[in-house]
Amino acid sequence: MRSLVLLVAMIWAPFVWAADLEDRQMFEGAAAETTLRVISSTDTDIFAPILEGFLAQRPDLRIDYAVAGSADIVTLIADCPDCYDIAISSAMDLQLKLANDGLARRLSGLEQTAGTQWRQTLFGFTLEPATIVLNRAAFAGRPVPETRQQLIEAVRADPAHFRGRLGTYDVRLSGLGYLFATQDARTSETYWRLMEVFGSLDARLYCCSGDMIDDLAKGDLFVAYNVLGSYASTRPETRDKVAIITPSDFATTMMRTALVLDATGEEAAATDLVAYLTQGAWADAAQPEYPLPSIGVSDPARLNVVSLEPGLLVYLDRLKRQIFLEAWTSALVR
């Protein structure tokens, strides 16, 4: 086991940077006896309703909910595989690699539709498309773009207006941003042309969705590309100020996935939480604009869902990542 951990640590070496928890909160069940340790890339306030719903069913549990960036999650787990019971992340590729490298436990008794789980270790429970979020005020009197091509045209039509007002993930820092970028690049050349345009207009790079949406709401940013639109719709104060556009050419869609770490001592309780997530029961109870659309209620047909398959490992390869980042940097960073 130790050699496996060492192995994993070495493989992840390119991703290692100061990995810290962004947040850590305790959710107590009514009669809590057992603690489930969850490490997640989802902000606590967004995930809290789900956890509370689960604890209402399982009052004997207490959930230690830690939040970290999706790339950091991998580092934290590699450093200490038995520090957490469950890993929840939006970076499907990183999660798949954890499962592929043998860090996830196979769970029995979980019914899943085909394509939403991998090896009974990795379970998708949401479908969330990458969207283009616009500042409504900035687009007043202008056509609202529905596709990447239209966005390119809109920006090119008035470069001065958009200079320094375009934003997207810094894929060097964000695991989810890297996943969306690589899948976009796989799907269409339009992505590179869009990035060229972004780069030529001094696009701002962000580590996280939250900052981007904050800046959009403030009006510092006019366009945020590849943001989880759901994040923007959560907060009432931003909802009116932004327009969330699911690109109609293709909408790269990720599944938020959960896995139970192989080193867990609480397999039964952890399996129950994963089952609660995959059943999507929380989606009915939550408000309609709740930002995590359950996998059951979304319509995957019109979405370009990233599939859970070994191909996801390709862009995590050191050489591949190097080539991709070089291309991305040369397009965006001037």
Partner 1 sequence: MRGSGWSLRRRLTLTLIGGAAVLAILFYLVVRTYAQGIAQQSQDRILEASVTSLMDAAVVRGGQIELDLPYAAFSMLDTAADDRVFYAIHQGDVLLSGYEGLSSGPFAPMGEPRFATRGFAGGDVRVATLTHSLPASPRPVLLTVSVAQTRDSLSGTLLTISINAAVFGAVFFLLAAGMALWTSASTLRPLGQIAASVARRGPSDLRPVTRSVPTELSPLVTSFNALMTRLSHSLTQSETFIAEAAHRVRTPLATVRSHAEVTLMRVDKDENRQALRSMIRAIDESSRAAGQLLDHAMVTFRGDQLDKQDVDLVSICSDIVDRLTPVAEMMDLDLTISSDGPVPVQADPILVQNAVRNLVDNALKYSSAESVVHIHVSAQPGPSITVTDQGIGFPKDQIELLSQRFQRGDNARDTVGSGLGLTIAKDVAEAHGGRLELKNLEAGGACAVLYF
For every residue of 146-193, DSSP letters joined together read: -SHHHHHHHHHH-HHHHTT-EEEE-TTT-HHHHHHHHHHHHH-THHHH
Beta bridge partners of 65: 25, 38
Task: For the CB of residue 47, give the shortest distance to partner 1 in the complex, in Å.
Answer: 27
Task: For the CB of residue 204, give the shortest distance to partner 1 in the complex, in Å.
Answer: 29
Instruction: State the sign of the Cα–Cα–Cα–Cα dihedral 11, 12, 16, 20.
Output: negative
Task: For the CB of residue 119, give the shortest distance to partner 1 in the complex, in Å.
Answer: 4
Residue closer to partner 1 (CB basis): 64 or 79? 79
Task: For the CB of residue 106, give the shortest distance to partner 1 in the complex, in Å.
Answer: 10
CA distance 208 to 204: 12
Element at 93 (helix H, strand E): helix 92-100
List of residues contacting partner 1 (CB under 8 A): 4, 7, 10-11, 99-102, 118-119, 186, 308-315, 317-320, 323
Task: For the CB of residue 81, give the shortest distance to partner 1 in the complex, in Å.
Answer: 13
DSSP state of 312: G
Residue closer to partner 1 (CB basis): 12 or 65? 12
Residue closer to partner 1 (CB basis): 119 or 239? 119
Residue closer to partner 1 (CB basis): 71 or 221? 71
Task: For the CB of residue 311, give the shortest distance to partner 1 in the complex, in Å.
Answer: 3
Residue closer to partner 1 (CB basis): 4 or 21? 4
Find the helix packing angle between 2-11 and 70-79, rounded to 10°: 150
Cα distances (Å, whole numbers) of residue 301 to 83, 148, 250: 38, 20, 11
- CA 238 and chain centroid, separation: 20
Compute φ and ψ for 288, nearest 5 degrees.
-55, -35
Residue closer to partner 1 (CB basis): 58 or 105? 105
Find the helix packing angle between 190-200 and 148-157, rounded to 10°: 30
Cβ contacts of 296 within 8 Å, gap of 6 or more: 279, 280, 283
Task: For the CB of residue 285, give the shortest distance to partner 1 in the complex, in Å.
Answer: 31
Residue closer to partner 1 (CB basis): 27 or 324? 324
